[in-house]
Structure 1
């Protein structure tokens, strides 16, 4: 019974992570400029991968009855590096002069330089 509950929890986490990854993929195709695309990739994809890895951790906890701390370390690593990488991509694009979309209303970094 306990194994079945852990498998259900694992399936829910993996499904949520898959949906978040799908949203990130759709955002990469549908969003208008590099800044919004990088935002979709860094936020939604990071959350998607984190949820999938947590689901995998629960799956192996149910299957092998063994907790794998390496999966938690991987989740922590992705949590720390995913948004930072997206931020660095956006800052690099800004400093290289990549234009915003026409719908962009304000530029917060213009006065910071």
Structure 2
């Protein structure tokens, strides 16, 4: 059981690091398009790692494969990039990149 606990701890630490990095990126980056990278890239990996840790833990606790967390992770990895793509396309359609208030865009 110590190997499972180490593996779960590893995925939780990695997940927490990526979630924190994505949140900081969302807060610190300047414009809309660069802010899309925080939640779609790093936070997706963070939540995915935490869900994998949960799947490992509950699979060994119940002595059966836990498919709920695997389905959540799969759904997250599919929907986050698609929603970010739609947000970027909507922003480009609204000509957000031509904002005169932000010279860096």
Query: Which structure 1 residue ranges, 5 or more long, are not aligned?
Result: 105-113
Instruction: Tell me if structure 2 keeps the 8 A contact 1:7–1:58.
Output: no
Runs of 4+ in 1 over 3 A off after TM superposition: 100-104
Residue of 14, 17, 40 corresponding to 1:16: 14
Q: Which structure: greater helix fraction?
A: 2
Equivalences, count: 102
- With normalisation by structure 1, the TM-score equals 0.82
How far apart, CA to CA, are the structure 1 residues paired with 2:37 and 2:84? 7
How far apart, CA to CA, are the structure 2 residues paired with 1:44 and 1:88? 18
Report the Cα offset of residue 63 of structure 1: 2.3
Report the Cα offset of residue 61 of structure 1: 2.2
Residue of 2, 15, 30 corresponding to 1:4: 2
Report the Cα offset of residue 16 of structure 1: 0.4
Aligned to 2:67: 69
Residue of 39, 43, 56 corresponding to 2:37: 39
CA offset digits 1:69-93 (Å, max 9, x no partner)? 1211111111111111111111111
Aligned to 2:95: 97
How far apart, CA to CA, are the structure 2 residues paired with 1:59 and 1:39? 29
Instruction: For CA contacts below 8 A with separation 6 or more, give which structure has more relative contact order.
Output: 1
Query: Which structure 2 residue ranges, 5 or more long, are not aligned?
Result: none
Instruction: Tell me if structure 2 keeps the 8 A contact 1:50–1:75.
Output: yes
Cα-Cα RMSD: 1.5
CA offset digits 1:19-51 (Å, max 9, x no partner)? 100001000111000001012211111111110
